[in-house]
Amino acid sequence: MEHVTFKTAPLLAHLGFQQPENIECGQVWVTPEGDELLTITSRFDYGKAIITWDFFAINLNKAVSGVPEDSVKKHFVFAPTATDILKELGEDWKLSAATLPINGVYWTCINSIENYGSTDKNPAECAAMAWLQIHEKK
C-alpha cells in the first residue's frame, strides 16, 4: 500500500484534508515538517487509549514504541493512501493505471465534470494532486 510523500501529507492537512478520528493499524503519519515517520503496527487499549507503534525518526534513525493516541494526533499528520483520498474526492473521481513503454506505470486521477486531473507513478500522490488542485482554488 502506497501513501503520499512526507512533503504532500502536511500540505493536505494544511488545506483541510480530513484526519482520521481513530488511529488504526496500517496507517502512516508524519510530522508537519515531514522529517519523522510513524507507522501504526498494532493497537492496544488500556483505558487511556495507549497504542503500540513503530516510529522512525528520519534524521535520528531511531525506533521507539508506545504512546498515547492523542499525542499522535497532536504531533503528526495523516499520510493517506489513494483509497483514503478517493473517498474524500467523491464517487465521480476515478484512478486508473497506464503502462507507458519508456516510463513504466503511471496513475491518472480524473473527474470529467470538473476537468481536474493528475498523473504520477504513486497512486496516492496522483489522487492527492487532484485533491490539492480543488482545495488550493477555494
Provide the residue range defining the domain that includes 103: 82-136
**Looking at the domain assignment, is residue 5 inside a domain?**
no
| CA–CA separation, 87 and 120 (whole Å) | 19
Q: 128: number of CA atoms within 13 Å, CB side?
A: 28
Q: Are residues 56 and 33 in the same domain?
A: yes
Taking only the tens of pLDDT, the chain with its 138 residues reads 689 988 999 999 999 999 998 777 778 888 887 766 777 666 655 554 445 555 544 444 445 555 666 777 788 899 999 999 999 999 889 888 888 787 778 888 888 776 666 778 899 999 999 999 888 876
CB atoms within 10 A of CB 114: 13
Counting the structural domains of the chain, the total is 2
Which residues in 22-55 are b (16+ Cβ under 10 Å) and which e?
ebeeebbbbbeebebbbebeebeeeeeeebebeb
In this structure, what C-alpha cell is assigned to residue 12?
493536505
DSSP 10: H
